[in-house]
Structure 1
Amino acid sequence: MTEQPYHHGKLREALLERAMETLEEVGVDGLSLRQLARDVNVSHGAPAKHFRDKQALIDALAMAGFELMNSRIQTASEAGGSLRERFVGVAKAYVGFALAHPALLTVMYSTKHHPGSSTELRNTGGQGIEIAQAMIVEAQEAGELAPGDPATLAMVCFVSLHGAALLAAGKHLEGIPVSDAIAATTDTLWAGMAAGVPAAQSR
């Protein structure tokens, strides 16, 4: 086997990229540092320079997953359009990520909530909800949403969309298209958060 030369930092990226693919193909139990080394064509000991063991690899996968997801959510939150359209965009970004990476999503949250998780991972794992919370505050200040605790409302939105994403990933939506499920969920959430805003003001 001719080993693939990697510049500094590139091997770690290649290993993580292949690990994400493997995770979706065979699950977390199928992850192996030796197999990853074979897959990216390096010596079996090369991954140890970046991941001391399988748990370190899983921790890194969780971090990389949250960073990727947060980037997509942030981009959606900053897109053009009304506040409601941006809210729907964030929902689509989250559910889309969940559908594309269901096994990774499970690893992300299980690792984040593990007693031994790092402060960095917990903080990174909470950024998505913080983005949603900031959007809710913006909409409240604009008079489009009624007063209410933004942190609680953001968590309710997350719970609802996470549930929809898991059902969609498991093909348990009973024939309802994912786009319809997202639309119904976001319509319900927005209407609930806007309740109490005078009709003339909410338009």
Structure 2
Amino acid sequence: MSTSGRRSYHHGDLRAALLRSALHLLDADGVDALSLRAVARHAGVSPNAPYRHYRDKEALLAALAAHGFTELAARIGDASADTERDGGTAGPADLASTIAPMARATVRYALDHPGLFHLMFGHPCVGRPEVTAASDAAQAVVTARIAGFAAPEDREALKIGIWALVHGLSLLLLDGRLGDPTPEQIDVLVGSVVRAMVP
């Protein structure tokens, strides 16, 4: 076996190593600068190693977006579960208190992973089946939490409204339009905006 072949499997879990490197490069330099060769170089593997798992850059981007939605769903779910525990068995009593922790979790995720967040919501790869499935799963977490606050025929519109509010707030913060608030100030801001906009 060649030296480059040995380097390809140095990490044990090549797919995970490539994904970690791609996430780092995506957040640091953006989607345009990302390439399979750059990912291989960052991961310390041979230039051909990424092709063992990703046919091309588009396949890698789709894997990244799906990974992002899966992580986001977990964060939203955790935030929602924490609120439910804090509120007792009945959970929070109003819609704003239900939405606020999920909104904070989403905004934090966007700020922690700016490149990935832009990819998840603004790249053609989001139309691929694996990304759509992961996105739907993340949205299902929100839908389940707000189900008791709207009639069945209104739940989709409510979910879209929440999505638009949180997405817009995330982009304003990512673009620096709201200054440079601390994490604590961001949490307060998100809560205030949700309560101002949600009845």
User: Normalising by the residue count of structure 2, what TM-score does the alignment of the two structures yield?
Assistant: 0.81
CA 1:18 to 1:186, structure 2 compared with 1: closer, same or farther past 3 Å? same
1:188 aligns with 2:191: no
SS of equivalent to 1:78? helix
Counterpart for residue 61 of structure 2: 58
Cα distance, 1:41–1:155 mapped onto 2, change above 3 Å: same
Q: 1:169 to 1:18 in 2, by over 3 A?
A: same
- Aligned-partner residue type, residue 107 of structure 1: L
Whether contact under 8 Å (2:15, 2:53) holds in the other structure is yes
Q: Cα 1:63–1:171, aligned 2, differ >3 Å: closer, same or farther?
A: same
* Shift, 1:58, TM fit: 0.8
Query: Offset of 1:174 from its aligned partner?
Result: 4.8
Residue-by-residue CA offset, 1:124-171 (whole Å, 9 max, x unaligned): 11233322222111345xxxxx88711111110110111111101111
* 1:81-160 matched pairs, under 5 angstroms: 81=87, 82-83=91-92, 84=94, 85-111=97-123, 114=124, 117-139=127-149, 149-160=154-165
Match of 2:170 among 133, 143, 165: 165
Cα separation, partners in 2 of 1:103 and 1:115, compared to 1, 3 Å = closer
Partner residue in 1 for 2:31 = 28
Q: Which has the higher contact order (CA 8 A, sep 6+)?
A: 2
Q: Give the Å deviation of 1:21.
A: 0.8
Identity %: 31
Cα distance, 1:6 vs structure 2: 3.0
Q: 1 or 2, which has the higher helix percentage? A: 2
Q: What is the SS of the residue equivalent to 1:156?
A: helix
RMSD: 2.4
Unaligned runs of 5+ in 1: 141-145, 192-203
Q: Shift in Å at residue 180 of structure 1?
A: 3.3
Equivalenced residue count is 182
Q: Within 1, Cα distance between the matches of 2:116 and 2:79? A: 21
List gaps (5 residues or longer) in structure 2. none
